[in-house]
Amino acid sequence: MNAYINDFPLLLKKDEKGKRTIYLDNAATTQKPSCVIKAVSDYYEYTNANPHRGTYDLSMQATDVYESARKRVSKFIGAESEDQIIFTKNSTEALNIIAQSYGMTFLKEGDGVVVAISEHHSNLVPWQVVAQAKGAELSFLYTDKYGEISSEEIEKKITEKTKIVAVAQISNVTGKINPVREIIERAHKFGAVAVVDGTQGAPHIPVDVNELNADFYVFSGHKMLAPMGIGVLYGKKDLLESMPPFLYGGDMIEYVEEQNSTYAPVPQKFEGGTQNVGAAAGLSAAIDYLNNIGMSAVMEKEKELTEYMLEKLSSVPHLRIIGSDKPEGRIGVVPFIIDGAHPHDIATILNADNVAVRAGHHCAQPFHTHLGVSSTCRASIYIYNSVEDIDQMAESLSEVRRWLGYGSKRIVH
């Protein structure tokens, strides 16, 4: 077992049979360490008030909590200033802000928008909507069967017509690390803006938005130990300033008259209404927790376990890993199928052994179509997982076909 698990109360809980949950659905959301849970409850117990508004002590303390979370995030991803950090509900909201505010304002008929075929629906559907509304053309960077985007594909698809390129840093289906730097360079060559969906990146590898030279970078707190309901939109200052607000209302204005209003500077311009300050406090604590380990150490640790998981999965009879079965250039997100077993049945059978994995299309239907599978099972690890977890999953997987009536009569537990 690994020592980090002791910080995660949910993972230590045992059911009536004395078994704990083997949680391997971290690409969907992660569990929360005690320090994060405490940061949220401390916020509500000691410092809750509406930030930015009151002149009394509590409100100033709440403002402090909220703004120091912004500073933490800014440092965590290497932003130049904390004004470039906009808090959102999650990555989906952040991507919608970019699509609706930047895309709707600056795209013209005939312009090109390029996304990868492997995108999560949240970095695809918002662009479909904008492209349709503005008469822009949406095109795709296709991957090979290992989930890899080639340099030729990048050169072919990103052209002088391209105005926006939106790609995930790491695929939530295959765990493949995309060549985002190369994609961004190509986009910039033609003056296009590059949107990077860091939802599977920020939790698992060190991120430096300056070094990446991303124009926008988004991620969700809940996939990196923080509470649900807090996400981040990073943007280059001039871009954020050029964009109209997304939500209009309180806290995002400067002056309001009967017929006209002026808006607050960024980031407040994009944070209309009372924000999720408790979750921001949680995100701050999550970042402290991760920094304490060190993101390079997180990456190395996960690499080791990923290697073990790939090896173990490959040894399960009738199991086929989708995408690459190699440990290089990826994180610990591994999709697979078993001959004759539907992913939903696999997940149900694993659940009977307290093993939690995801089954379905993982919000990436076009990518599944592209890979020629209708759905997959997906196991995804985080820092608290151990070889014991992988062993239990592999053991349960070996029983799947028997439960479904293949081969010798199953053993009745």
Partner 1 sequence: MDLNELYTEIITQYSRSDKHRHPPEKADIKMRGVNPSCGDDLTLYLNIDDNVIKDVEISGEGCAISQASASIMADLMEGKSIEEAQELINKFIGMIKKKVTDEDELEELGDAAAFENISNMPARVKCAVLAWHTLEEALNKKQK
Cα distance between residue 142 and residue 162, in whole Å: 16
Among candidate residues 363, 373, 387, 404, the one labeled active-site is: 363
349 binding partner 1? (CB under 8 A): yes
- 128 contributes a contact to partner 1 by CB under 8 A: no
Among 360, 366, 370, 398, interactor with partner 1 by CB under 8 A: 360
Residue 334: which of 355, 354, 311 has the closest Cα? Answer: 311
> Residues 32, 72, 223, 361: which binds partner 1 (CB under 8 A)?
361
Q: Are 151 and 134 in contact (CB under 8 A)?
A: no
Residues 371-400 that bind partner 1 (CB under 8 A): 374-375
Question: Minimum distance from CB of 47 to partner 1 (Å)?
Answer: 38
Q: Does 403 bind partner 1 (CB under 8 A)?
A: yes
Q: What angle do CA 30, 33, 38 make, to 5 degrees?
A: 125
Give pairs for 13-16: CB < 8 Å, separation 24+. Answer: 15/354
Q: Contact 167/183 with Cβ under 8 angstroms?
A: yes
Count of residues in contact with partner 1, rule CB under 8 A = 18
- CB atoms near residue 197 (< 10 Å): 32
Specify the residue, 98 or 349, whose C-beta has the smaller distance to partner 1.
Answer: 349
Residue 292 to residues 43, 156, 286, Cα–Cα distance (Å): 21, 42, 10
Nearer to partner 1, 3 or 412 (CB): 412
CB of 396 to partner 1, least distance (A): 11
Q: Could you tell me which stretch among 145-153, 176-184, 262-270, 341-349 binds partner 1 (CB under 8 A)?
A: 341-349
Name which of 27 and 85 has its Cβ closer to partner 1.
27
In this chain, which of 110, 348, 391, 407 binds partner 1, going by CB under 8 A? Answer: 348
Burial class (CB in 10 A: 0-12, 13-18, 19+), 18: exposed
Q: What is the DSSP string of 357-402?
A: -EEE-TT-HHHHHHHT-S-EEEEE--TT--HHHHHHHHHHHHHHHH
Q: Answer yes or no whether residue 352 interacts with partner 1 by CB under 8 A.
A: yes
Please give the Cα distance from 68 to 34 (Å, whole number). Answer: 20
* 35 tagged catalytic: no
Residue number, 269 or 362, with CB nearest to partner 1:
362
Catalytically annotated residues: 363
Binding site for partner 1 (CB under 8 A): 341-345, 348-349, 352, 359-361, 374-375, 403-405, 412-413
